[in-house]
Amino acid sequence: MIEQLLSKYLRLRLHEALIVTIGENGFNVAPMGVEFLEGMLFIKPYKHTKTFLNISFNPEVTLNLTQESKYFFKSIFKPWELLLKPAKKVKAPIVDGDFDLYIEGILTLYKEDPLRPTFKLEVLNAYEGCGSKLALSRANNALLEALVYYTKVKDPKFRENTQEYLESLKLLKLNLSLVKKLGDEELKGMAIYIEDKLRELSLHE
């Protein structure tokens, strides 16, 4: 059953999820790329992030998969608006809401790296949520892309690579423009919020 669910939802290999980890000071929710390869799940958190520190403290995590960009937005900018509820087999909770799939498991180090080590997830449980019930939306997808680039460009370590930083910033702004052109008022509001954050950080080309 677990294998069937993973193959159903993660068949395109690379997907975005919200990972919930446990630290000394409580739970943390963050966007995380998930790779599904030959029936196994892998993640690559940056070493300087809270996600990595929490995994070192407690390797029990949940992966929460949805197509709704608003949950990724909230995890970055308004985490207090996310509702958590107990998972079934691990101490880390799941995120309540319109999620397609929940995965619970324990992470172990698979490959060391000075910047982004690879962890393999031992899946203990996987089950469907109520579903995002969302048809394909270019604006929604563009906001997800913008959020991925935002997490990169706001990182001082990432900005040390000037060329990659400028390319990512350009793609971030292009995706925000697409959101404002094609999105509804909720998506447009999130795009404007991100633009304001960029100005606060004085990030420019």
Report pLDDT digits (tens) over 166-179.
Answer: 999 999 999 999 99
Q: Where are the alpha helices (DSSP H) in the chain?
A: 2-9, 50-57, 69-77, 138-153, 162-182, 185-200
Residue 19 to residue 16: CA distance in whole angstroms: 9
The Cβ of residue 113 has, within 10 Å, a number of other Cβ atoms equal to 11
pLDDT tens across 57-91, in order? 999 999 999 999 999 999 999 999 999 999 999 99
Residue 3 to residue 126: CA distance in whole angstroms: 9
Residue 150 to residue 164: CA distance in whole angstroms: 13
Q: What is the pLDDT of residue 158?
A: 83
List of domains in the chain: 2-128 (2.30.110.10), 138-200 (no CATH)
How far from each other are the two terminal CA atoms of the chain, in whole angstroms? 49
pTM (two decimals): 0.95
- Continuous segment of H or E residues that includes residue 14: strand 14-23
pLDDT tens across 85-119, in order? 999 999 999 999 999 999 999 999 999 999 999 99
Q: How many CA atoms lie within 13 A of 158 on its CB side?
A: 20
Residue 136 to residue 125: CA distance in whole angstroms: 28
